[in-house]
């Protein structure tokens, strides 16, 4: 006997048969989304924990450093104890130390070294300074002083200046012998007013020193033969020789060449001087010639003055 059973297509399916393609895809998609959401949430938690940990570490470090700074700036251990000045020859070291102690904090770490350097370099004899902190409580200041290079004559008073014309002090034997010509013709009727024309006077002093350096390159005897240098006219430097009253006009260039012309014609100069008794000026500014101007006698000067009055 044969028993045939016809199952309808809409009947129940085999439980072991795989789900339809559409249903399988739907189930897989939901599972993937759930896993992704779970992974994203965990990752955000990890990031938040790391950020919080870094913040805590940063706060601890800042707190620690702040406590160190606070201790350093308030502890008596760093109170300024000694100020050592190195290189003071003409400067009064005690007066410089007084500037440090009276005008700046008494705590070593609170002293602004830049401001202290600027303040000390305002002192007349100070060219530059270098400052070092020696922990916990010492300050060492290395001073480079200005060097007296020229003697200035200002309204009948002699003063010392360095190579750029900075006025240092009145001329005094305590500074030793300075074997250089005296510079005249600078601006200012007193030492104080001289300082108000510092830029202009610096240019004149540099011109005078440039002239002397050029002559010295030819022979040191040339500079030793000069007694005074008149810088009143920057276009015409005037010299006065030792034991002579004549004004030697040398211009503003070719100093060595022009001075050598005078030295090689000293016999002629002596003859002219002997003939006219006194020479008022010797002009060396014209190439190939020397112009001698005799000094007028008292009678000639009187006659000239009367003629001008007429």
- What does the DSSP assignment read for 136-161? TTEEEEEEEE----EEEEETTEEEEE
E strand or H helix at 206, and its extent? Answer: helix 198-218
Q: Say which DSSP state 107 is in.
A: B
Counting runs of H as helices and runs of E as strands, what totals does the chain give?
9, 12
Cα angle 188, 233, 189; round to 5: 10
**CB–CB of 292/269 below 8 Å?**
yes
Task: Note the pLDDT of residue 13.
Answer: 47
Whether residue 162 sits in one domain with residue 131: no
Count CB-CB contacts under 10 A for residue 75. Answer: 12
Question: Which positions ≥6 away from 303 have C-beta within 8 Å?
Answer: none
Whether residue 260 sits in one domain with residue 206: yes
Q: What is the domain range of residue 164?
A: 150-309
Tokens of 22: 């559409």
Put the strands of the sheet holding 167-170 in their side by side order. 167-170, 157-161, 150-154, 182-184, 226-230, 237-241, 247-251, 279-283, 291-294
Whether residue 295 sits in one domain with residue 234: yes
**CB–CB of 248/255 below 8 Å?**
no
Whether residue 305 sits in one domain with residue 165: yes
**Domains in the chain, number:** 2
Whether residue 171 sits in one domain with residue 136: no
Cα angle 125, 131, 133; round to 5: 150
Task: Note the pLDDT of residue 126.
Answer: 97
Pairing of strands 157-161, 167-170: antiparallel
Tokens of 17: 């048969």
Report if residue 41 sits inside a domain. Answer: no
Q: With 0.75 as the threshold, say if the pTM is over it.
A: no
Report if residue 61 sits inside a domain. Answer: no
| Average pLDDT per 10 consecutive residues for the chain, totaling 310 residues | 47 50 51 59 76 73 60 71 95 95 94 96 96 95 96 94 95 87 95 93 97 96 96 97 95 96 94 89 93 74 49
- Closest by Cα among 46, 49, 138, 151 to 86: 138
Task: Note the pLDDT of residue 278.
Answer: 87
Task: Note the pLDDT of residue 123.
Answer: 95
Task: Note the pLDDT of residue 305.
Answer: 46
Whether residue 192 sits in one domain with residue 169: yes
Task: Note the pLDDT of residue 54.
Answer: 74
Task: Note the pLDDT of residue 60.
Answer: 67
Whether residue 156 sits in one domain with residue 305: yes
Task: Note the pLDDT of residue 303.
Answer: 47
CA distance 54 to 60: 10
**CB–CB of 88/145 below 8 Å?**
yes
Report if residue 219 sits inside a domain. Answer: yes
Task: Note the pLDDT of residue 149.
Answer: 93
CA distance 240 to 237: 10
Whether residue 265 sits in one domain with residue 128: no
Task: Note the pLDDT of residue 220.
Answer: 95
């Amino acid at each position: 006997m044969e028993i045939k059973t016809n199952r309808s297509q809409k009947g129940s399916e085999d439980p072991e048969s795989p789900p339809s393609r559409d249903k399988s895809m739907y189930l897989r998609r939901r599972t993937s989304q759930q896993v992704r959401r779970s992974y994203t949430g965990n990752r955000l938690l990890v990031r938040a924990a790391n950020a919080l940990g870094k913040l805590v570490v940063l706060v601890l470090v800042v707190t620690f450093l702040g406590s160190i700074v606070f201790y350093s700036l308030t502890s008596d251990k760093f109170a300024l104890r000694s100020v050592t000045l190195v290189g003071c020859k003409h400067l009064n070291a005690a007066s410089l130390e007084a500037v440090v102690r009276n005008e700046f904090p008494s705590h070593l770490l609170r002293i602004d070294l830049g401001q202290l350097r600027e303040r000390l370099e305002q002192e007349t004899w100070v060219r530059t300074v270098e400052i070092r902190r020696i922990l916990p409580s010492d300050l060492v200041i290395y001073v480079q002083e200005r060097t007296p290079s020229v003697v200035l004559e200002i309204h009948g008073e002699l003063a010392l200046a360095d190579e750029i014309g900075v006025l240092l002090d009145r001329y005094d034997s305590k500074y030793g012998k300075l074997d250089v010509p005296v510079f005249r013709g600078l601006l200012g009727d007193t030492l104080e007013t001289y300082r108000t024309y510092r830029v202009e006077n610096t240019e004149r002093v540099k011109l005078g020193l440039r002239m002397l350096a050029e002559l010295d390159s030819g022979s040191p005897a040339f500079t030793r033969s000069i007694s005074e240098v008149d810088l009143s006219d920057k276009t015409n430097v005037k010299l006065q020789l030792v034991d002579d009253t004549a004004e030697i006009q040398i211009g503003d260039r070719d100093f060595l060449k022009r001075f050598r012309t005078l030295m090689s014609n000293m016999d002629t100069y002596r003859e002219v001087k002997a003939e006219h008794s006194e020479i008022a000026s010797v002009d060396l500014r014209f190439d190939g010639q020397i112009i001698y101007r005799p000094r007028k006698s008292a009678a000639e000067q009187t006659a000239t003055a009367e003629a001008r009055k007429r």
